[in-house]
Structure 1
Amino acid sequence: MYCDVTKEQDIGSLVQSTIRLHGRLGIMFCNAGVLSQSMKTILEFDLSSYEKFFAVNVGEVAASIEYAGQAMVKANSRGSIICKASIAAGLASDRNTDYVMSKSLVVALMRCASSQLAPHVIHVKIISPGPVATSALCATLGMGADDIESMFLRMFRLKNDGVLKVKHVADAAVFLATNSANSPMSNKLEGKVAIVTGGASGIGEATARHFAVHGIRMMVIADIQDELGQKVMESIGSHKCSYKHCDVADEEQVKNLVHSTVQNHGRLDIMFSNAGIVSNTTQTILELDFAEFDRIFAVNARGMGACVKHAARAMVELKIRGSIVCTASTSASSGSERFTDYCVSKHALVGLVNRQANSLGCMGLGLKGVTLDTKHIADAVLFLASQDSDLITGHDLVVDAGFLVR
């Protein structure tokens, strides 16, 4: 259907005709956008072009959220609205001021809308692609897609020595738009070998079971809860799951865990560094007990650091393009009046993922964090561990039912 996204009435008609023809609207993907035709700085700003530019990149998103949201609320539909921004929204630029500003506003708009529509069980999410050779960029630069991708290879040190393609953005959109737990059986992890620390209970156990459903060849559950770990292994089946005692606070045990996995199964594709502990106290910074602080850090920060270190070493040595996923927490971003040691430990983990992802990406490894607050973590970990997220690295995927945008 023809739709000029700069015209609000066109978007309203688009939504209404969709419902009239198909009975409902479950997903709205706000993807239309334009690139800046100039390289102007703030000193050369042309407000007339700025206003036309914003009409597409921001106005389209606002109107789409408005009309799709109204339709979903009216139909009592649990829908998803996905907006496309850009990594430019989080980066400074010496050019393209209008484009960067417009994408920053899309991010802000998404945060407001997600908070306001959450009571109606309508999820508003965002995708921020990196440099990708879209048809719009090809037209703007007057270059073919292959030439642009070659240029990106020279300019950027990207994971797997590859370039971001439109398909990778589409994979992310599908993940955000669907409930992968209810999708048909898939073999996303076929032939892969994984380690799940803290896999005897909670998020680790749920993820281990999810991995098993999606075709994992072999999975090693590592924990200090031996009885629970054995039960999980037996319920999944010894043909695709084993259990090993491992205290991640002891680097030597982590090293042995990785070594024995590679020795027994020939490879390591996925490390889900999930083992963690919560503080036994509600202390503030004024009451900080450094014995307890050190205990928390030994597992939550140092332990995950050891998992990343030894898993990465094994993957590099075996020339495996693997994925390392770490469990963080919304506490790393929101802070807390209490639990100071726990919040600081999780913030340290986010820093580890952000800082080391680039160096590991050049070796073909993806280092990713998942920040949690709900029961749907296993779906997120599956996505981050599979090839669907092959061009995502250094990213903290927040799964919190809108907690951080309240």
Structure 2
Amino acid sequence: MAENRFTGKVVIVTGGGSGIGAATAHRFAAEGATVVVIGRTRTKLEKVAADAPTGSTVVARVGDVSDEEEITRLVEAVAHDHGRLDTLVNNAGICLPLGSVTDIDAAGWRQVMSTDVDGIFFTSRAALPHLRAVGGSIVNVGSASGLGGDWGLVAYNAAKGAVTNLTNAMALDHGAEGVRVNAVHPSMISTDMVAGFVQSDELSAAALNRVPMGRFGEAAEAAAVITFLASSDASYVNGAHIRVDGGLGASNGNPHVA
């Protein structure tokens, strides 16, 4: 692991209470950043802060990205309290409710959209003035489900598809302002979300049959790509979309029959 790439930097990670968000917070902190994890559940956030690498700084702040006024106040408070903001990781997201267009209702549709899309819009808009001031960056956490469809995940697919093209538009609009905007698209990462879908050995085997590397990924492996995109090592990377899926996206969709 590269060390101290983020010494003196301030990073916000939304959805920082578990999974990829928690691993990302710890990776930034291990490399010297002051990290503010934002989420809706205080106990989860406080555990992430308590489990941070020795000598590092991870601060827990409760907030809902889908609440425009609340998240705007919170981002402003972070920049004020710490004197700057260098990186925003838009990781907060939900996938429920499941179903097709005829299965889910308007309230379920809006629930997913308000967190997965509106949350990125609100948080990014609040962060951009501070990111411009220091030549910072945004990393959006999309999904393989935003690059192709799934059965029974219409709201999540639509939301993550929006994240994909929102990343493109933001990269165009803000690159000349010195703010780079990129996205990672995880799939088959061992998180609570994946565990909710793969609830049996049979389903696990079927899922892994599609992954060339033959295993689930770890949250830390996604975090490594996120921190790369935020670092000076990626200083000319803007509007990029990086899959973190063990090669799942390399397939044309046919089953593994060899």
- With the length of structure 1 as denominator, give the TM-score of the two structures: 0.52
Paired amino acid for 1:224: R
Paired amino acid for 1:360: H
The equivalent of 2:102 in structure 1 is 286
Paired amino acid for 2:182: K
CA distance in 1, matches of 2:82, 2:27: 20
283-292 or 382-391, larger mean C-alpha shift: 283-292
The equivalent of 1:231 in structure 2 is 47
Q: Could you report, residue by residue, the CA deviation over 1:336-356 in whole angstroms, capped at 9, with x for unpaired residues? A: 121100000000111111112
The equivalent of 2:28 in structure 1 is 211
Paired amino acid for 1:356: M
Q: Which has the higher contact order (CA 8 A, sep 6+)?
A: 2
**1:383 equivalenced with 2:228 (yes/no):** yes
Paired amino acid for 1:303: G
1:196/1:377 CA distance change after superposition, 3 Å = same
Residue 46 of structure 2: SS of its match in structure 1?
Answer: helix
The aligned runs of 1:73-222 (5 Å cut-off) are: 183=1, 185-216=2-33, 218-222=34-38
The equivalent of 1:171 in structure 2 is none
Contact 1:327 1:370 in 2 (8 A): yes
The equivalent of 1:401 in structure 2 is 246
Contact 1:195 1:271 in 2 (8 A): yes
The equivalent of 2:122 in structure 1 is 306
Paired amino acid for 1:369: A
**1:334 equivalenced with 2:151 (yes/no):** no
Pairing partner for 2:184 from 366, 370, 395: 370
How far off is 1:239 after superposition? 5.9
Q: Could you report, residue by residue, the CA deviation over 1:289-319 in whole angstroms, capped at 9, with x for unpaired residues? A: 2210000000000011111111112223xx2
Paired amino acid for 1:404: G
How far off is 1:380 after superposition? 0.4
Residue 147 of structure 2: SS of its match in structure 1?
Answer: helix
How far off is 1:287 after superposition? 2.7
Contact 1:196 1:271 in 2 (8 A): yes
Q: Could you report, residue by residue, the CA deviation over 1:358-406 in whole angstroms, capped at 9, with x for unpaired residues? A: 1100100011111001321011001011111111111111111111122
Contact 2:24 2:223 in 1 (8 A): yes
How far off is 1:321 after superposition? 0.4
- With the length of structure 2 as denominator, give the TM-score of the two structures: 0.81
The higher radius of gyration belongs to: 1
CA distance in 2, matches of 1:364, 1:189: 17
Contact 1:258 1:314 in 2 (8 A): no
CA distance in 1, matches of 2:16, 2:170: 25
CA distance in 2, matches of 1:257, 1:392: 28
Contact 2:30 2:56 in 1 (8 A): no
What RMSD over aligned residues (CA atoms) do the two structures have, in Å? 1.4
How far off is 1:286 after superposition? 3.1
Contact 1:198 1:276 in 2 (8 A): yes
Contact 2:87 2:131 in 1 (8 A): no
The equivalent of 1:242 in structure 2 is 59
Paired amino acid for 2:146: A
Identical positions, percent: 31
Paired amino acid for 2:70: Q
CA distance in 2, matches of 1:239, 1:371: 27
Q: Could you report, residue by residue, the CA deviation over 1:312-337 in whole angstroms, capped at 9, with x for unpaired residues? A: 12223xx2100101110001112112
How far off is 1:212 after superposition? 1.2
CA distance in 1, matches of 2:139, 2:56: 24
CA distance in 2, matches of 1:315, 1:328: 21
Paired amino acid for 1:222: I
The equivalent of 1:343 in structure 2 is 157
Pairing partner for 2:91 from 271, 274, 289: 274
CA distance in 1, matches of 2:246, 2:150: 18
The equivalent of 1:10 in structure 2 is none
The equivalent of 1:254 in structure 2 is 71
The equivalent of 1:295 in structure 2 is 111
The structure whose residues are more often helix, as a share, is 1
Residue 315 of structure 1: SS of its match in structure 2?
Answer: helix
CA distance in 2, matches of 1:363, 1:252: 25
The equivalent of 2:201 in structure 1 is none
Q: Could you report, residue by residue, the CA deviation over 1:61-94 in whole angstroms, capped at 9, with x for unpaired residues? A: xxxxxxxxxxxxxxxxxxxxxxxxxxxxxxxxxx
Aligned length: 219
CA distance in 1, matches of 2:224, 2:235: 16
Paired amino acid for 2:162: A
The equivalent of 2:213 in structure 1 is none
Q: Could you report, residue by residue, the CA deviation over 1:176-204 in whole angstroms, capped at 9, with x for unpaired residues? A: xxxxxxx4x51111111000111111100
Q: Could you report, residue by residue, the CA deviation over 1:150-175 in whole angstroms, capped at 9, with x for unpaired residues? A: xxxxxxxxxxxxxxxxxxxxxxxxxx
